[in-house]
């Protein structure tokens, strides 16, 4: 099998699975219980929080464990909006965000909040001046992703953070789900107040994640109850999953030593796709993540291409897995000014540090065959 859909989810690392099993078997107590087993589990949870803080270069008290990117984004956006609506109801985001951000903002709009969607250029990149121009006296939150989950564009997060440092009443949230371990981001240097990470994008387990919440930032809880996770996210903690998440974070950081290899593989793949007839590359060569390459095959339905490659035991995707079953057109490509023909025929290859050149060569060979065969039928 050649798996090239790592932006949708990654295969859990064996060491992560072993950590999960060990903790689930030996430390199954509720960390809120006062007996010995509960206290042992609570110590394990505290250690995991400290390790996560060390990896992210933040204080352990700034780590909130969540179920993943969608919950983290919703908690950050709605949590800020509901906690600070007394001093403003304006939120700034972009036209190319993940559905969990776009739909969270749309939900708040129905509650009376005003949302400004910043446009992007043909590469999917935001202009910092547009962010500045959108700020009003009512603005309380700017939420912008670090790496686009469809085409891999890297947003100028540090520049936006520096801009917002002049507006102390505006909170800055970053969706770092596709960027963590692939594109470096220093939370403090970028003046970030809230940041989302997901475990299953880095060879961890589904249902695990982190929301970084800068000390002093107040959120309205979306899950009230036992007061876990600093009274921000109630509910018994998934300690085995959390330990597995931190293990995955450590392993992912170690894999960054292979970053140059992954970048070279991306450029190789893009060069070979560029040489093919009837292919349109959508991922910008510069300022894009090393693991995502997005292209279109105008005139062909992407799901047909995907299933044809699946018959060869090769797995790719169209767009975000959270929106791939929705309308045909990619909203990200449309926002970049692409024609309907291009934005409705997008295909995404997303690699991991374990992807090899041999796998890419096999994929390219089979893609040529599939495109040639389908072109005769559909064009």
3-state secondary structure the chain: CEECECCCCCCCCHHHHHHHHHHHHHCCCCCCCCCHHHHHHHHHHHHHHHHHHHHHCCCHHHEEEECCHHHHHHHHHHHHHHHHHHHCCEEEEECCCCHHHHHHHHHHHCCCCEEEEECCCCCCCCCHHHHHHHCCCCEEEEECCCECCCCCEECCHHHHHHHHCCCCCCEEEEECCCCCCCCCCCCCCCCCCEEEEEHHHCCCCCCCEEEEECCCCCCCCCECCCCHHHHHECCCCCHHHHHHHHHHHHHHHHHHHHHHHHHHHHHHHHHHHHCCCCCEECCCCCCECCCEEEEECCCCCHHHHHHHHHCCCEECECCCCCCCCCCCCCHHHHHCCCCHHHHCCEEEEECCCCCCHHHHHHHHHHHHHHHHHHHHHHC
* Per annotation, catalytic residue among 105, 195, 322, 336: 322
Question: Is 105 tagged catalytic?
Answer: no
163 vs 306: CA distance, rounded Å:
42
331 vs 118: CA distance, rounded Å:
14
Best CA proximity match to 52, nearest among 217, 223, 253, 264: 253
Angle at 288 between CA 176 and CA 353, to 5 degrees: 75
Q: How far is CA 271 from CA 22, 112, 283, 317, 355, in A?
A: 45, 47, 12, 20, 17
State the residue for tokens 């739909």. Answer: 103
Catalytic residues: 322
């Amino acid at each position: 099998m050649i798996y090239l859909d790592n932006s949708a989810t990654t295969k859990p690392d064996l060491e992560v699975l072993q950590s999960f099993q060990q903790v689930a078997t030996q430390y199954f107590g509720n960390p809120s219980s006062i007996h010995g087993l509960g206290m042992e589990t609570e110590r394990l949870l505290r250690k995991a929080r400290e390790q996560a803080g060390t990896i992210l270069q933040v204080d352990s008290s700034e780590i909130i464990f969540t179920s993943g990117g969608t919950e983290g984004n919703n908690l950050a956006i709605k949590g800020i909006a509901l906690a600070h609506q007394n001093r403003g109801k304006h939120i700034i985001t972009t036209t190319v965000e993940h559905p969990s951000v776009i739909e969270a903002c749309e939900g708040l709009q129905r509650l009376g909040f005003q949302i400004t969607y910043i446009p992007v250029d043909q590469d999917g990149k935001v202009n910092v001046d547009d962010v500045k121009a959108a700020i009003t006296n009512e603005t309380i939150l700017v939420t912008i992703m670090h790496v686009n989950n469809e085409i891999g564009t890297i947003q100028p997060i540090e520049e936006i953070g520096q801009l917002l440092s002049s507006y102390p009443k505006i909170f800055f949230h970053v969706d770092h789900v596709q960027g963590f371990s692939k594109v470096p981001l220093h939370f403090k240097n970028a003046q970030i107040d809230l940041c989302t990470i997901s475990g299953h994008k880095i060879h961890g387990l589904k249902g695990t994640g982190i929301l970084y919440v800068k000390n002093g930032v107040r959120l309205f809880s979306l899950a009230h109850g036992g007061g876990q996770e600093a009274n921000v996210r109630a509910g018994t903690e998934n300690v085995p999953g959390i330990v597995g998440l931190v293990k995955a974070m450590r392993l992912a950081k170690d894999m960054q030593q292979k970053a140059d290899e992954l970048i070279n593989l991306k450029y190789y793949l893009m060069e070979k796709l560029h040489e093919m007839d009837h292919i349109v590359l959508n991922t910008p060569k510069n300022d894009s993540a090393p693991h995502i390459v997005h292209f279109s095959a105008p005139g062909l339905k992407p799901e047909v291409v995907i299933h044809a490659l699946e018959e060869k035991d090769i797995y790719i995707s169209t767009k975000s897995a959270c929106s791939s079953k929705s309308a045909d057109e990619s909203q990200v490509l449309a926002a970049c000014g692409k024609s309907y023909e291009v934005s409705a025929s997008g295909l995404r290859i997303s690699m991991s540090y374990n992807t090899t050149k041999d796998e890419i060569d096999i994929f390219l060979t089979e893609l040529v065959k599939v495109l040639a065969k389908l072109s005769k039928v559909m064009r």
